[in-house]
Structure 1
Amino acid sequence: MSFISETLRQKIRTRAGNRCEYCLSHQDYMMGRLQIDHIQPLAKGGSNTEDNLCLACELCNQYKWIQTVGVDPESGETVSLFNPRQQEWINHFTWSTEGTEGTEIIGLTPCGRATISALKLNNNLAVTVRKNWVTAGWHPPN
């Protein structure tokens, strides 16, 4: 069992802008509360320190679980998954265009593509929900 103080939890939420740091879903549009994720899982030697914690939606957190590496579907290479404390989202991902604008996350790098695959960032539920967010004018985020 890990203990993360409410002060640290709030700091992580604020730093993330109340968005999942993997799929960028905003807390205002989620049924459940965004969760604190251990980038390097405790089971693999990670800690409860601020530099190892990020905000994640339930789907991303469940799919990530204890994964720290994934396979780039283009090259077949095993690479580290996206680390929101060490990398910028925009350098590894972008939003789809042309008919599916803002509904799918596109990987720009091996890390991005492996993360999309491992965390199933474009699963059917996520894409369907994003379509509705786009229609409402809530998505994609800037």
Structure 2
Amino acid sequence: MSGYISQNLRSQIESIDHKRCCYCLTTEANSGMPMTIDHIQPVSKGGLNTLENLCLACRTCNEYKSDTTEAIDPLTGELVALFNPRKQNWKEHFQWNNDASQVEGLTAIGRATVIALRMNNAVIVATRKRWFTIGWHPPD
């Protein structure tokens, strides 16, 4: 059951996640789009409405993630779990390229997540380039 997520829990998630996507780090302030609540472990696979299983995600990452929990690492060809923002550190699995327009996966988890969530789609890459030139990107 996806069920109700209380305003108190939503506020906690927004505070912890600094109003930015836990996957691609797009901020609500830069994008102008409200973040969505993502179930890290989807409800369809037994995920609950708990702080440990919920995070902010931009609409694009959330839609592409859908109920996916694993993806193929393009380097090794192995099936690996997607990045879990509540249990793993972003900087251990990802980095920005030189102009901060693309997210690069550093690990099998990072590489598989970048591909599965299409974190470097043409629209966001072009947008990140603009944000970079005016000093809005990359986030701290």
TM-score grouping bracket, smaller chain normalisation: over 0.9
For the residue of structure 1 that corresponds to 2:21, the secondary structure is: coil
Please identify runs of 4+ aligned residues in structure 1 that moved more than 2 A. none
Counterpart residue identity of residue 105, structure 1 = V
- Among 100, 103, 127, the residue aligned to 1:102: 100
TM-score, normalised via structure 1 length? 0.96
Structure 1 vs Structure 2 CA RMSD: 0.7
CA distance in 1: counterparts of 2:127 and 2:20, whole angstroms: 15
* 3-state SS, counterpart of residue 46 of structure 1: coil
Residue pairs, 1:77-92, within 5 angstroms: 77-92=78-93
Q: Hey, what's the Cα distance between the residues in 1 that align with 2:100 and 2:110?
A: 16
Aligned to 2:71: 70
CA positional deviation for 1:29: 1.3
- 1:2-45 deviation per Cα after TM superposition (whole angstroms, max 9, x unaligned): 21000100100000011100000011012321011000000111
1:118 aligned residue (116, 119, 122): 116
Deviations 1:98-135 (A, max 9, x none): xxx10000000000000000000001011011011001
Separation in 2 of the partners of 1:24 and 1:32? 13
Aligned length: 139
SS of residue in 2 equivalent to 1:51: helix
Equivalent residue, structure 2, for 1:28: 29
Could you tell me which runs of 5 or more consecutive residues in structure 2 were left unpaired when the two chains were aligned.
Answer: none
Distance in 2 (CA, whole Å) between partners of 1:36 and 1:2 is 12
Report percent identity of matched pairs.
49
